[in-house]
Structure 1
Amino acid sequence: MAENDREGYDRAIGLMRDCATEDGFLATPTERSNYRRIWGRDGAILVLAALRTGDSDLITTARRTLETLARHQGPHGEIPSNVDPATGRISYGGTTGRVDAGLWFAIGCAEYWHSTGDGTFLDALLPAIERLRFLLGAWEFNNRGLLYVPMTGDWADEYLQSGYVLYDQLLYLHAQRGFAALHAEVHGSRDHALLERLSRLRHLIRANYWFDEHDTAAGDAYHEVLYRRGQEAAPHCANRYWMPSFSPSGYSYRFDAFANVLASLLDVADAGQRQRVDAYIEEELLHDDLPLLPAFHPVIEPVHEDWEDLQMMFSYTFKNNPYEYHNGGLWPMLTGFYVADLARRERSDQARSLLRAVHRANALAMDGESWSFPEYLHGRNLTPGGTRHQGWSAAAAVIGHHALEGRNLFGIDDDQL
């Protein structure tokens, strides 16, 4: 390992330790807004990174993270968006709940058990997992296999995306894999009805979120009229990348980096789709000076019709100026997931190049302090932005490092069910 790579990894492990508390991983030790709390989403990503390290202290903190989230589960099965154990304050979301908090929690629990074999943990958390599983089924609303996600209902909580969001469906797919693995462990048998639902969800994703000229969704479109109109309106997207979402009002067409990476990591994409997404990322997204993935592309500018609606989407202050935050900001965390995907597909040279970019981004200075681990970088100026000492920016470096050593990010797959 090159010296700079070793420093980047060691610094990342150091920040993960700084995020560790008796109650689990904080999103950041930095005092800002509600960031210095244990989050369902951030916490689970830190759990995945901790499991890759094999470090007993970090793995203990991973378990405590999940236990804290379960202890503060809502009355219907809701997993907190974030918890402040010091004050007892719990948030299940802002103007709407956070669908992906529960999805990440389910994934974290199953992956923790799969990695550690901790039966005591499983026995203690199984009731919370089952309540969550029931709630997620209710969030399908029409019992047709896809989750409906309200505006601001997932990690893009200040961006214009809602309805049947691909990112959430992919997490739902892996959460159901986890449910199936846990059922087999507890009952000693396969849950065939769940496995059928899982297979159906994977089929729905493949049929409804990838456009091509052959109309492969024929007979399998979630809503045939919406699908055909979406395909007709976006021929420039066909065979290039996965569509981010659709709703009763139609399809969205911007590139969603998290969704496209997860489609490959979770084995929904086939070889041809992976190749096309890789080409789109390389040709359209990666900055020559510092190749990091943006959350969404293209950027929403003041001249665009979406701009007025975007300006209304914020909790504390408006963050989504062009090339900032979700609106074209560059994210070390997302890039770390892509490194894991590339490494798993044995594209090691590209993975190492992007991992070095993650380290370089994490090393940037904020408030006069180097190794600031920024939340994101400005998409044009490459300056750090958002909250510093972001735990999942550190997790990205750790996940990417171990992926290149052959440790896959997700341990549970279809072959084991």
Structure 2
Amino acid sequence: MLKTNQIVINEARNAAIEVLLHNAHGPFHSLPRTAGWGYPEPYTRDLMFALLGIAVSGNQELMSSMRHVLEILAKNQTSHGHIPSLVHDAEDRGASDTTPLFLLGVGIFRKVTNEKDFLQGALDKALQWMEYQSPSDRCLVAQQPTSDWRDEQWVTGYGLFVNTLTYSYLRLLNLHERANQLKHDMGRFTITNGIMHKHVHEGLVVKYKPYYAFWSYKIFSSERFDLLGNSLAILSGLASPGRANEMVSWIEEECIHMRNNGELAVDLPPNFFPYIKPSDPDWHERYEQYNQPGEYHNGGIWPFICGLYIAALVAAKRYSLAEKKLIALTQAIKLSKSKSLKFGFNEWIRAQDGMPMGQDWQTWSAAIFLYAAKCVETKRTPFFNDATT
């Protein structure tokens, strides 16, 4: 890596720590803020993802803050084992991704601290909750629309993101038998002929494409590309090395086409494509306000997801490409809505013109940058490297 690029990356790392320390104590029970100013609440999913970067930072103040988060989540866990969407609010329920993210977070925390029995009771209850999340009593986890991090986008039935999270925590917690069964279930093809025969189960593999389907349920599915879910599939080892390499090449080729078509202005992939347009059958009226093509969940560029994509590139041994994308991400995290910030760590960026559109100093944007930088530096993917078998 060029010395000038390394200097900027190190500067960005220091800025990320500054953001995380600023956000470490918010107005709700001194729990971390989700963003520096716009989101004072402690959102469970954001903070569990942030643990990846905090865990490789070596910063003990931040790790102590995350211990507090995990302990409060365990305290606010429901009697059935479900984890709330807001750390401090036991009544804010209904998310499909908070419980698997909690399980992943506990697994990461145990690895860093070597506290092998940390929150064992809460972990057992959360595992029990996840056992009951499949309507067909399989390992595949189902969900209701807008119940995962895409709270403004429909994912119906077996979503890729939640199932790759589930696979990741199963590996990290050494629950390999169930992980193998989930991998088997996900490895089935989606059903495309409109008929579901007896004893034939749907999966998430798309015929003639290297990536996994966005979601699948019975005879219905979406073959639009989910960058977060597919990055986790590579990171966790769910995707074979051959599939991972083919997927990366496909993503980069598609991004070239989008740039040529004026649909993408930066050298980072959108979180979701092809974008859903008003004329498409999967367009919802509410998207008019929140999810225009190339924006928010409908193709916005999310720095935290791009950071996980960079980690996936390292997992796929595409080291030069990972370094190139890290440099592009370093430029992207400089963008801010507040012009006074040298590093904005903005929430999301509009794909077509590269304009920052979300909240500045977003916790997971800063934390996952740290994780991506560590992966590129070491050519390893901490926590995922140890979990794959």
- The Cα of 1:26 is off from its aligned counterpart by 2.3
Please give the alpha-carbon distance, in whole angstroms, between the structure 2 residues aligned to 1:305 and 1:331.
25
- C-alpha contact (below 8 Å) 1:111/1:410 kept by paired residues: yes
- The Cα of 1:52 is off from its aligned counterpart by 0.8
Please give the alpha-carbon distance, in whole angstroms, between the structure 2 residues aligned to 1:90 and 1:369.
37
1:74 maps to 78
Please give the alpha-carbon distance, in whole angstroms, between the structure 2 residues aligned to 1:162 and 1:369.
41
Give the counterpart of 1:37 among 30, 34, 41. Answer: 41
Give the counterpart of 1:383 among 350, 355, 358. Answer: 355
Alignment CA distance shift 1:239-1:220 (3 Å): farther
1:190 maps to none
Please give the alpha-carbon distance, in whole angstroms, between the structure 2 residues aligned to 1:49 and 1:108.
11
Give the counterpart of 2:9 among 2, 5, 12. Answer: 5
- The Cα of 1:101 is off from its aligned counterpart by 0.6
1:262-301 equivalences under 5 Å are 262-285=232-255, 287=259, 290-301=266-277
- The Cα of 1:198 is off from its aligned counterpart by 2.1
CA deviation digits over 1:181-236, x for unaligned, max 9? 4xxxxxxxxxxxx543221111111234699xxxxxx999524xxx7xx99xx7xx
Q: How many residues align?
A: 369
Give the counterpart of 1:394 among 340, 360, 366. Answer: 366
- The Cα of 1:341 is off from its aligned counterpart by 1.7
- The Cα of 1:303 is off from its aligned counterpart by 2.1
1:217-256 equivalences under 5 Å are 222-223=201-202, 238-256=208-226
- C-alpha contact (below 8 Å) 2:234/2:315 kept by paired residues: no
Cα RMSD, aligned residues only:
2.6
Please give the alpha-carbon distance, in whole angstroms, between the structure 2 residues aligned to 1:153 and 1:389.
24
Please give the alpha-carbon distance, in whole angstroms, between the structure 2 residues aligned to 1:9 and 1:24.
22
The amino acid of 1:408's aligned partner reads T
1:199 maps to 180
- C-alpha contact (below 8 Å) 2:275/2:293 kept by paired residues: yes
2:381 maps to 408
Please give the alpha-carbon distance, in whole angstroms, between the structure 2 residues aligned to 1:149 and 1:99.
6
- The Cα of 1:71 is off from its aligned counterpart by 1.7
Deviates more, 1:279-288 or 1:10-19: 279-288
Secondary structure in structure 1 of the residue aligned to 2:188: helix
Please give the alpha-carbon distance, in whole angstroms, between the structure 1 residues aligned to 2:267 and 2:47.
26
CA deviation digits over 1:310-346, x for unaligned, max 9? x3369xxx32112110111111111100111222333
- C-alpha contact (below 8 Å) 1:23/1:64 kept by paired residues: no
- C-alpha contact (below 8 Å) 1:204/1:221 kept by paired residues: no
Identity %: 27
Please give the alpha-carbon distance, in whole angstroms, between the structure 2 residues aligned to 1:414 and 1:240.
20
Secondary structure in structure 2 of the residue aligned to 1:157: coil
Please give the alpha-carbon distance, in whole angstroms, between the structure 2 residues aligned to 1:70 and 1:293.
35
1:334 maps to 305
CA deviation digits over 1:366-388, x for unaligned, max 9? 13333221111111011001222
Quick check: 1:105 aligned with 2:102?
yes
Secondary structure in structure 2 of the residue aligned to 1:51: helix
2:280 maps to 304
- Could you list the runs of 5+ residues in structure 2 that have no partner in the other structure? none
Please give the alpha-carbon distance, in whole angstroms, between the structure 1 residues aligned to 2:336 and 2:300.
17
- C-alpha contact (below 8 Å) 1:79/1:102 kept by paired residues: yes
- C-alpha contact (below 8 Å) 1:78/1:92 kept by paired residues: no
1:106-145 equivalences under 5 Å are 106-119=103-116, 122-123=117-118, 125-145=119-139
Give the counterpart of 1:25 among 32, 37, 58. Answer: 32
Give the counterpart of 1:14 among 2, 15, 18. Answer: 18
- C-alpha contact (below 8 Å) 1:209/1:244 kept by paired residues: no
Please give the alpha-carbon distance, in whole angstroms, between the structure 2 residues aligned to 1:358 and 1:29.
20
- Could you list the runs of 5+ residues in structure 1 that have no partner in the other structure? 182-193, 212-217
TM-score (norm: length of structure 1): 0.82
Please give the alpha-carbon distance, in whole angstroms, between the structure 2 residues aligned to 1:389 and 1:379.
19
Secondary structure in structure 2 of the residue aligned to 1:246: strand
- C-alpha contact (below 8 Å) 1:210/1:242 kept by paired residues: no
- C-alpha contact (below 8 Å) 2:55/2:63 kept by paired residues: yes
2:333 maps to 362
Secondary structure in structure 2 of the residue aligned to 1:341: helix
TM-score (norm: length of structure 2): 0.87
The amino acid of 1:28's aligned partner reads A
CA deviation digits over 1:29-70, x for unaligned, max 9? 31x3xx322222111111111111122222222212211211
Please give the alpha-carbon distance, in whole angstroms, between the structure 1 residues aligned to 2:77 and 2:22.
25
